[in-house]
Amino acid sequence: MKLKTRKISAVVLALGMAALWLLINPESYEQIFTKVENTGAESGVDYNAETDYSAEPTTEAESDAPLATEILEKLEVKGRAPKTGYSREQFYNGWPTVEGCSLRQRILKRELGDSAVLDGCNVISGEFDEPYTGEHKVLKDKTEVAKIQIDHVMALSDAWQKGAQYKDYETRNKIATDPLNLLAVDGAANQQKSDGDAATWLPKNKKFRCQYVARQVSVKYKYELWVTEAEKEAISKVLANCPNEPTIGI
């Protein structure tokens, strides 16, 4: 009985000392119990820092192409719809075959141009200026080519939440397989982008940012999708560096 009483007294004493410590050092309580927010630092993005919207214009306006700034103003501005029900299968089931070759291989060939070496339909080597990082990539073999991903410039999840879920499957399939919305890019950069829009992710390569947002504007206009207020503001800030940036395919 005495042993049990001693154990209880020891526990009470320990709790009392802990309580006294917290009263004297309240910051300790905050350090232990305050939820740590995900700042995105693990992916190289500091969401607490002021976003850099700077860009370097590289494209000259075409006389018959409307400006991205003009088309941006024509897009409807709304909040995100729920992501409920989204899956890639709502848009497509793998890359379709275009004139006998996979669309993935078609996009790779388009980006690598004359440097592309083919084995039938498959690109097995080549080189190109990767748009998201700005690095010149030399792809020596199929292993190197496999590291290149085909990105939906306007992410399919983003499209789903901004009007695509209200379209029929045929329209969604066009969004997913339209070459206008597809780019061959560095796999790591594509993974970092994930399904972000211009308000949450921009390419590291500032020489591509104007074309990047102009392409997103072009796709959204073509398929009658909307932008959020934050997204429109971000795109506007990028285009302020290149007011003569043309749209693509409009």
Query: What is the SS3 string spanning 223-239?
Result: CCCCECHHHHHHHHHHH
Alpha-helical segments (H) within 67-223: 68-72, 103-112, 142-146, 156-161, 169-177, 187-193, 209-222
State the pTM of this model: 0.79
Q: How many domains does the chain have?
A: 1
Q: What is the pLDDT of residue 206?
A: 97
- Examine residue 21 and state whether it is found in any structural domain, yes or no: no
The Cα 74–Cα 82 span in angstroms is 23
Burial of 64 (0-12, 13-18, 19+ CB in 10 A): exposed
Kindly state the DSSP code that residue 90 receives in the 8-state scheme: G
Q: What is the pLDDT of residue 104?
A: 98
Kindly state the DSSP code that residue 246 receives in the 8-state scheme: B
- Examine residue 170 and state whether it is found in any structural domain, yes or no: yes
Residue 177 tokens read as 């397989």
The Cα 150–Cα 108 span in angstroms is 8
- Examine residue 4 and state whether it is found in any structural domain, yes or no: no
- Examine residue 99 and state whether it is found in any structural domain, yes or no: yes
- Examine residue 226 and state whether it is found in any structural domain, yes or no: yes
Domain range for residue 210?
A: 54-239
- pLDDT tens digits, the chain, 250 residues: what are they? 444 445 445 444 444 554 444 444 433 333 322 223 333 333 334 433 578 999 998 877 666 899 999 999 999 999 999 999 999 999 999 999 999 999 999 999 999 999 999 999 999 999 999 999 999 999 999 999 999 999 999 999 999 999 999 999 999 999 999 999 999 999 999 999 999 999 999 999 999 999 999 999 999 999 999 999 999 999 999 999 999 999 999 8
- Examine residue 138 and state whether it is found in any structural domain, yes or no: yes
Q: Which amino acid is at 247?
A: T
- Examine residue 49 and state whether it is found in any structural domain, yes or no: no
**CB contact at 8 A, 126 and 139:** yes
- Examine residue 247 and state whether it is found in any structural domain, yes or no: no
**CB contact at 8 A, 185 and 192:** no
Separation in Å, CA 162 to CA 78, 82, 173, 189, 214? 8, 9, 15, 23, 17
The Cα 205–Cα 90 span in angstroms is 31
3-state SS assignment for residue 150: strand
Characterize 206-222 residue by residue with b for buried, 16 or more Cβ atoms within 10 angstroms of its Cβ, and e for exposed: bebbbbbbbbbbbbbbb
Q: What is the pLDDT of residue 139?
A: 98
